[in-house]
Amino acid sequence: MEKKDVLSALAALSQETRLDIFRLLVQAGPDGRAAGAIAETLAVTPATLSFHLTQLTHAGLIVQRREGRSLFYSADFDRMNGLVGFLAENCCGCPANPVTCVPVCAPSPKAANAPGETNDRTALEASV
């Protein structure tokens, strides 16, 4: 992950509404949430939400998919791990100073689902 990417990820997350959105999606797990549902949960205007979703998407932190007329957004856990990894990695700059930096976040696909739901996305594994 390059500095430019880290910078835009940090910029995206440094805004309260966006941090809320991101954490909501992180907690929602790989399935994510429809834009409308996010707007309702966080009490944000559709236009405002859309603006922030775009920012988060451009920062690579979330991903969009369509399901019927709804657009679902979900957190990109790989990117998230990359960001944490970058910060952790660089907190130990000096090679003469070995430390343990092992942030690994790999939710299983069904993590946020009620029992019995279907789910065919599986791609997320540890990346650090």
- Site for a copy of itself, rule CB under 8 A: 3, 6-7, 10-11, 13-14, 16, 19, 23, 26-27, 29, 75, 77, 80-81, 83-84, 87-88, 90-94, 96-97, 99-108, 111-112
Cβ-Cβ contacts under 8 Å for 121 (sequence gap 6 or more): 30, 31, 109
Residue 41 contacts DNA per CB under 7 A: no
21 versus 112: smaller Cβ distance to DNA: 21
Which residue, among 87, 78, 21, has the nearest Cα to 48 in the 3D structure? 21
Q: Token digits for 27?
A: 């907690």
Tokens representing 110 are 């069904």
Residue 3 site contact among DNA, a copy of itself, none (CB < 5 to 8 Å, cut-off depends on kind): a copy of itself
